């Protein structure tokens, strides 16, 4: 396989996301070279110099349409790199049903990687090829061992802010605490746990997730891939988007949204049936690592570069 050089533009200093870390890991696992390039505190001639030195076959980014103070200069850099033969990929992964930039982008981007396939026709305004490319699990060879700091009954990682996106899950968790001990991470002792996901998944008896973007067909955020792919017993409210990818009772445990009693009955069942619990953990882990790992996602990007076709492994995309 050809050794590809791929640069990743992003907020490496302030927000080390699963997209950034996963893409970098996937590039290395596919035998490529990766150059992280920060768009923070960087003037564009420095970015250009780094790109000219590295001479990437491709550039990945998910932040080029953010409100950056040097956005126009960044666009000029991308135009120059495309003229030199570099392919520019933009990842549209957030919960949007309409393009963030409502105009053609074919002067700065070669193709777009879109999280949720049902909205792809709306992105034709960008006038570039669009490919279905959902989130990923970080590559992991085996299940982690438990870590005392992360031992708990039910873990939740994320915001409990009182806003339109997070208030419903905050209320559910607050009410659930009357029935099941819930530990919200990060704690003062743990700090951020994003890249301790394997240890947290192995240490908590269960991990809780909620569907975001309820009104956006096909949208699924990183959390199911993140935790199922790390060996958690993952609980997630039933929704058509997750059921396109993961099978309830095989890869994860589904419950009725906002229904404390339904969740509690599922929680009790798996607390008492350790064999079934371990079956789900193992099946979800193996399925994610085989079909939805960082290695697989970056193999798909390389296939696009080489003009090959690929298909995302979904249970059902009808």
**pLDDT tens digits, 19-69:** 999 999 999 999 999 999 999 877 889 999 999 999 999 999 998 888 777
The end-to-end CA distance of the chain, in Å, is 33
C-alpha separations of 227 from 87, 148, 181, 202, 317 in Å: 32, 18, 19, 10, 22
Ranges of each domain in the chain: 5-136+293-305, 148-291
CA-derived radius of gyration, the chain = 20
Long-range contact list for 83-88, CB < 8 A, 24+ apart?
Answer: 84/55, 86/51, 86/55, 86/56, 86/57, 86/58, 86/59, 87/57, 87/58, 87/59, 87/111, 87/305, 88/58, 88/59, 88/61
**pLDDT tens digits, 213-249:** 888 889 999 999 999 999 999 999 999 999 999 999 9
* Fold classification of 148-291 (topology level): Rossmann fold (3.40.50)
Q: β-pairing, 234-237 with 253-255?
A: parallel
pTM of the predicted structure, to 2 decimals: 0.94
Q: Is the pLDDT of residue 264 over 60?
A: yes
Confidence label for 289 from pLDDT (cuts 50, 70 and 90) = very high
C-alpha separations of 49 from 46, 81, 241 in Å: 5, 11, 42
Average pLDDT, the chain: 93
Average pLDDT for residues 110-126, to the nearest whole number?
92
The confidence score (pLDDT) of residue 164 equals 62
Domain 5-136+293-305 and domain 148-291 have a common topology:
yes
The top-level CATH class assigned to 5-136+293-305 is: alpha beta
Q: Is the pLDDT of residue 98 over 70?
A: yes
């Amino acid at each position: 396989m050809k050794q590809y050089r791929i640069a990743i533009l992003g907020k490496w200093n302030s927000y080390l996301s699963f997209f950034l870390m996963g893409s970098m890991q996937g590039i290395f696992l596919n035998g490529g070279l990766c150059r992280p390039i920060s768009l923070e505190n960087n003037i564009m001639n420095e970015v250009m110099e780094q790109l000219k030195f590295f001479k990437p076959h491709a550039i990945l980014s998910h932040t080029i349409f953010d409100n950056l103070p040097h956005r126009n200069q960044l666009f000029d850099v991308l135009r120059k790199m495309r003229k030199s033969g570099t392919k520019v990929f933009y990842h549209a992964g957030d919960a949007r049903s309409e393009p963030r930039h409502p105009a053609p982008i074919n002067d700065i981007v070669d193709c777009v990687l879109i999280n949720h396939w049902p909205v792809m026709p709306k992105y034709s305004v960008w006038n570039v090829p669009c490919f279905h490319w959902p989130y990923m699990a970080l590559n992991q060879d085996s299940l982690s061992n438990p870590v005392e700091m992360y031992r708990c009954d039910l873990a939740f990682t994320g915001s409990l802010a009182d806003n339109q996106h997070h208030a419903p899950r905050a209320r559910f968790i607050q009410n659930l605490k009357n029935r099941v001990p819930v530990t919200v991470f990060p704690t003062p002792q743990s700090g951020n746990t994003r890249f301790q996901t394997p240890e947290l998944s192995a240490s908590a008896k269960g991990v809780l997730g909620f569907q975001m973007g309820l009104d956006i067909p096909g949208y699924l955020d990183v959390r199911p891939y993140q935790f199922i792919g790390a060996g958690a017993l993952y609980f997630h409210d039933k929704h058509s988007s997750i059921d396109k990818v993961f099978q309830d009772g095989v890869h994860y445990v589904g419950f009725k949204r906002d229904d404390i009693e339904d969740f509690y009955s599922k929680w009790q069942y798996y607390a008492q049936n350790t064999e079934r619990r371990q079956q789900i953990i193992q099946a979800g882990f193996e399925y994610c690592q085989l079909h939805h790992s960082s290695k697989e996602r970056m193999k798909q990007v390389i296939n696009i570069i080489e003009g090959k076709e690929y298909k995302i492994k979904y249970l059902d995309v009808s």
